[in-house]
Amino acid sequence: MAVIPGPPNQHPLPGTPADPRDPLPGTPADPRTPTPTPLYKPPATETNPALEDPTPDYMNLLGMVFSMCGLMLKLKWCAWIAVYCSFISFANSRSSEDTKQMMSSFMLSISAVVMSYLQNPQPMSPPW
Amino acid sequence: MKNLYIFIVVLFIPWSFSLAKYDEFEDGDDIMEYDDNDFAEFEDVSEDAVTESPQRIITTEDDEEEATVELEGQDENQEDFDDADTQEGDTESEPYDDEEFEGYEEKPDASHSKNKDPITIVNVPAHLQNSWESYYMEILMVTGLLAYIMNYIIGKNKNNRLAHAWFNTHRELLESNFALVGDDGTNKEATSTGKLNQENEHIYNLWCSGRVCCEGMLIQLKFLKRQDLLNVLARMMRPASDQVQIKVTMNDEDMDTYVFAVGTRKALVRLQKEMQDLSEFCSDKPKSGAKYGLPDSLAILSEMGEVTEGMMDAKMIHFLTHYADKIDSVQFSDQFSGPKLMQEEGQLTKLPETKKTLLFTFNVPGSGNTSPKDMESLLPLMSMVIYSIDKAKKFRLNREGKQKADKNRARVEENFLKLTHVQRQEAAQSRREEKKRAEKERIMNEEDPEKQRRLEEAALRREQKKLEKKQMKMKQIKVKAM
């Protein structure tokens, strides 16, 4: 483990008690230590998968289901809901998540909408 | 709904228009050429023959591509017109004879009766109407999507601004206390990035380390999901506020063994149910902190009274009373292992790992409508955190307290072992069987018959010894029982 050579701050007067470059770290003047600092560990989500927000995964799945329904059953409203689901999933996603997954669900929902309209150019009728 | 009405009105207008035209025809007041009917001039005009009305093409609009509307009984009107025309033409000079119109009058009767036949109007398919109004649902959907995208951009930027405002306010204090501020875990060496780590559009992390007493401090800025329109709408029903969660991991030698929590009553009740350590060590309900001068909104959960006495010193009370509205919960624990894990009985074989931790959860003032300025009001809370770190290091239980604490921990461990006794037995049994099987396999695989015999004998002897031991134990137990 590497030792950090010194505190990063600049202080004009070395040797004074208030100086962060005080050679005796741990004194009241400088609570910082030059001891090696542990590396960042990912937060609790790794140890507690139950705490993770499941929204983006659910929305992704829902979006795909709706877009398949829209494509197979030629239901326009299904395709539109799929587009909404994929947008919601994107908005809630974690930055570490795969963008490919997001893009694929998004493209699928857009294609569902486009195909529904190509096959049947009629405007969507309200369900009521 | 409004759009639906507009749509219905739009449909009504051409329909009523066409109806009105038929009225005109029936009255016969204005004998005008019906312009829309292109085939009028080709119509066979004969008073006697009531031919079947050929298909008429009536366009409701001038565009020739419009669909047809079929009408029955429309021809009679044309015939009437034509009859009138021809009659006019023939008898222009002569006055009208009543006789001449006798037969004619029957015609109107006949045509009337024919007009009583139902007129079926076929609905014009909407996509052929060539009006944007028929696509109102699609326009609605696209508008909704645009609204969602706008909200995403606005929400994301707001969260970003809030996070950076928080960081700018706290940067100095953090940098004076920690050698490493900001580490995203990508470098093998510990280098200070000096930046927040964005995990999400609404969660920002900051890892600080390099201080006496503590291993490190993880700060999580958990903002509301302003980038998600659904969440924004849900929050209109149920207000919530941004939270700042700080988790300080202490070094093993820098904290004594105790479990203590203070916070709002609601938060403590929830934590007591959820958190492993609080539920095991703090069995009482949250007590009011009025004894120490805390406001009524705050309550205390503690392992033993001595801990509370030690923790509630003047400065801490000062912090808690002044910033009570921003504090959600504060938890000091040497047995912290996170929330209770929902595991099946068979999987629990070991106590979860515990770490000495100080946990702080603060609510950002504003209850959702926060502005970057509100972040400044959280700075004193960070000072409280730093003070707590030092205090946790200094505070030591006296001998009695230590004994009690050790007893508690032993009790918890015992309970756990009892619970898992059955599982551990099964695990041990299966391990023994595995060993036996492995030995047998070894014996079988031995090519040398001599060695095989020797190994078998050794195994037999071992088993005999075990049996003897067991018998001895049983005898001893019997003797003791007697």
- Per-residue pLDDT of B441-451, as tens digits, reads 888 887 778 88
Three-class SS state of A1: coil
pLDDT bracket for residue A112 (50, 70, 90): very high
Size of interface A-B (CB pairs under 8 A): 114
Smallest Cβ distance to B211: which of A4, A31, A80? A31
Between residues B439 and A10, which one has the greater pLDDT? B439
Q: What is the mean pLDDT of residues B283-293?
A: 83
Residues of chain A by 3-state class (helix, strand, coil), percent to 5:
50, 0, 50
Percentage of chain B lying above the pLDDT 70 cut = 72
Amino acid at B93: S
Mean pLDDT of chain A: 72
Smallest Cβ distance to A38: which of B134, B215, B227? B215
B345 Cα to chain A: minimum distance (Å):
17
Nearest Cα residue in chain A from B190: A39
CB spacing of B144 vs A84 below 8 angstroms? yes
Residue A70 reports pLDDT greater than 50: yes
Which residue in B291, B288, B287, B270 sits closest to B279, CA to CA? B270
> For B60, which DSSP code?
S
- Quote the tokens at residue B16: 């009523």
Neighbours of B479 (CB within 10 A): 8
B-chain CB neighbours of A88 within 8 Å are 148, 228, 230
Q: Does A103 touch chain B (CB under 8 A)?
A: no
Q: Does B356 touch chain A (CB under 8 A)?
A: no
**Candidate from B9-18, B182-191, B390-399 with smallest mean pLDDT:** B9-18
A-chain CB neighbours of B183 within 8 Å are 37, 39-40
Which residue in A31, A8, A4 sits closest to A18, CA to CA? A31
Measured CA to CA, the distance from residue B237 to residue B250 in angstroms comes to 40
Maximum C-alpha span of chain A: 82
Domain boundaries, chain A: 53-119
Mean pLDDT of chain B: 77
Per-window interface: B 26-45 vs A, CB < 8 A: none
B-chain CB neighbours of A38 within 8 Å are 190, 209, 215-216
CB spacing of A9 vs B178 below 8 angstroms? no
CB spacing of B210 vs A39 below 8 angstroms? no
CB spacing of A92 vs B4 below 8 angstroms? no
Sign, Cα dihedral of B210, B214, B215, B221: negative
B366: left (phi over 0), alpha (psi -120 to 50) or beta: left
Q: What pLDDT does residue B1 have? A: 63
CB spacing of B190 vs A39 below 8 angstroms? yes
Neighbours of A84 (CB within 10 A): 20
Neighbours of B377 (CB within 10 A): 15
Q: Does A96 touch chain B (CB under 8 A)?
A: yes
Residue B37 reports pLDDT greater than 70: no
Q: Does B137 touch chain A (CB under 8 A)?
A: yes
Q: What is the DSSP string of B217-279?
A: EEEEEE---TT-HHHHHHHHHS----EEEEEEEEPGGGS-S-EEEEEEHHHHHHHHHHBHHHH
B-chain CB neighbours of A2 within 8 Å are 189-190
Measured CA to CA, the distance from residue B86 to residue B76 in angstroms comes to 15
Angle at B305 between CA B301 and CA B311, to 5 degrees: 75
Mutation choice for A interface testing from B124, B133, B230 by most A CBs within 10 A: B230
Q: Does A44 touch chain B (CB under 8 A)?
A: yes
Please report, for residues A5, B51, B79, B142, B160, the alpha-carbon distance to residue B37 in angstroms, rounded to integers and kept in the order given: 97, 18, 13, 40, 66
> For B292, which DSSP code?
G
**Candidate from A61-65, B148-152, B400-404 with smallest mean pLDDT:** B400-404
pLDDT bracket for residue A106 (50, 70, 90): very high
Q: What is the mean pLDDT of residues B14-42?
A: 52
Which residue in B225, B243, B219, B230 sits closest to B159, CA to CA? B225
Q: What is the DSSP string of B351-386?
A: PPP-EEEEEEEEEPTTTT---GGGGGGGHHHHHHHH
Residue A1 reports pLDDT greater than 90: no
Q: Does A36 touch chain B (CB under 8 A)?
A: yes
Between residues B19 and B181, which one has the greater pLDDT? B181
